[in-house]
Amino acid sequence: METDKQLFGENKQSNGRCNEPKHVKDIKAESKNANGHPNLIQATFQKMFHLDVPDKPKSTKSSSNTSSESEEDKGESNVPRGEKRLSSTTAGSKLRFQKLPTGSHAHNLQPSKRAHRVSAILRELGFISHNHYEEQTQPSHSNASSEKSSRSECSFAEKYGTCREIIGKGAFGIVRIAHKAEAKTPGGKLFAVKEFRRRHNEPTKKYIKRLTSEFCISSSLHHLNVIDTLDLMQDTQGKYCEVMEYCAGGDLYSLIVASGGLELEEADCFFGQLINGVKYLHDNGVAHRDLKPENLLLTAAGCLKITDFGNGECFRMAWETQAHLSRGVCGSEPYIAPEEFTGNWFDPRLVDIWACGIIYMCMITGRHLWRIAKWQEDGQYRLYTEAKADGRVLSQFQGLNNGRRRVMNKIIEPNPKLRVTAEQITQDSWFAKIVICFRPLSTGSSGVAGTCCASSHQESVLSNNYNVVS
- Domain contains 346: yes
Using the 3D structure, point to which of 189, 215, 247 is the last residue of a domain: 247
Nearest C-alpha neighbor of 414 from the set 391, 389, 395, 390? 389
- Domain contains 44: no
- Domain contains 213: yes
pLDDT band at 334 (very low <50, low <70, confident <90, very high): very high
Cα torsion 373, 379, 384, 389: sign: positive
Q: Is 194 one of the annotated binding-site residues?
A: yes
Do 306 and 412 belong together in one domain?
yes
pLDDT band at 162 (very low <50, low <70, confident <90, very high): confident
Which stretch of 170-174, 245-249, 286-290, 415-419 has the lowest confidence by average pLDDT? Answer: 170-174
List, for residues 36-87, the tens digit of each pLDDT value.
Answer: 444 444 444 444 333 333 343 334 344 444 444 455 666 554 454 433 333 3
Do 280 and 353 belong together in one domain?
yes
Do 341 and 301 belong together in one domain?
yes
- Say what the pLDDT of residue 395 is: 79
- CATH number of the CATH domain containing 203: 3.30.200.20
pLDDT band at 171 (very low <50, low <70, confident <90, very high): confident
d(CA 297, CA 254): 10
Better-scored residue on pLDDT, 336 or 179: 336
C-alpha neighbours within 13 Å on the C-beta side of residue 37: 16
Catalytic option among 251, 290, 308, 347: 290
Domain that holds residue 333: 261-433
Do 194 and 293 belong together in one domain?
no
| The pLDDT of residue 13 is above 90 | no
d(CA 217, CA 451): 7
- Say what the pLDDT of residue 236 is: 67
Better-scored residue on pLDDT, 152 or 268: 268
- Say what the pLDDT of residue 414 is: 96
d(CA 403, CA 425): 11
- Domain contains 71: no
List, for residues 231-254, the tens digit of each pLDDT value.
Answer: 998 876 777 899 999 999 999 999
Do 409 and 382 belong together in one domain?
yes
Do 310 and 243 belong together in one domain?
no
The question of whether 290 is a catalytic residue gets the answer yes
- CATH number of the CATH domain containing 322: 1.10.510.10
| The pLDDT of residue 143 is above 50 | no
